[in-house]
Amino acid sequence: MSQLEIIGHRSSHYTRQVRLLAHELGVEYALRPIHDLMSEDPAVFAGNPALKLPALRRGDTVVWGSLNACRWLARQADDGVARVFWPEQAGTALAMNAHEVLAHAMAAQVEVVFHEIVSQRPPDPASRKRRTSLVQCLAWLDRHWDDIRAELPPARIAIFDLGLFCLLEHLPFRNPIDLSSMPRLTAFAGGFATRPSAQATPYRFDAPPPDLPTRA
């Protein structure tokens, strides 16, 4: 069978979510870094017209987006799908809202980093709102922590945990935010960081190949 490839970037929290799941489920993969994140060519993003990463590829099959990649990847492991607690399995309003809040926070983090750090654009009302919403989502998750935990089956790998850990470790890497008022989130991140999957997937920038043209 052809090799499973994760097409993404070691500095991306969405890519790391997929890599974490691969490590947790013991699925082998090769990471194919995308270097030109500002490209407008879908081919750079494994054909994704949204020009987003990550993607998962095996042979001629490609799926786009971190959750799809996780779903496809889980099918490659014995009992993989059943070992995972998926966002769509959240059964209560609180658990559904927790997944929604996390999904927003992960997307907001991309936008904040692109606006403030990559593009170095000055704040505007939309960017201020985005940053505020990111911080408020984190605070909400911390405030409801015990009730959220009660909704996640401890024997399964919760996509929620993978995404949250990836986001929390991405903050100091790309967009430092003071989390001292969120002790439950910081304790969670500290605990998860000891897992072999976390230690195998630290954030770093993939060095571009020498022939890649630089963008201003």
Ligand X SMILES: N[C@@H](CCC(=O)N[C@@H](CS)C(=O)NCC(=O)O)C(=O)O
Q: How far is the CB of 157 from ligand X (least distance, A)?
A: 17
CB count in 10 Å sphere of residue 91: 9
Site string for ligand X, 30-49 (x = CB under 6 A): -------x------------
Q: How far is CA 110 from CA 26, 69, 116, 181, in A?
A: 28, 18, 10, 23
Q: Is residue 72 close enough to count as binding ligand X by CB under 6 A?
A: no
| Binding piece for ligand X, criterion CB under 6 A, among 7-15, 78-86, 185-193, 208-216 | 7-15
Q: How far is CA 198 from CA 56, 165, 169, 195, in A?
A: 19, 9, 10, 5
Q: How far is the CB of 104 from ligand X (least distance, A)?
A: 11
Q: Is residue 71 close enough to count as binding ligand X by CB under 6 A?
A: no
Q: Is residue 212 close enough to count as binding ligand X by CB under 6 A?
A: no
Q: Is residue 67 close enough to count as binding ligand X by CB under 6 A?
A: yes
Q: What is the 3-state secondary structure (H, E, C) of 67-100?
A: HHHHHHHHCCCCCHHHHEECHHHCCCHHHHHHHH
Chain residues that interact with ligand X, rule: CB under 6 A: 12-14, 37, 51-54, 65-67, 110
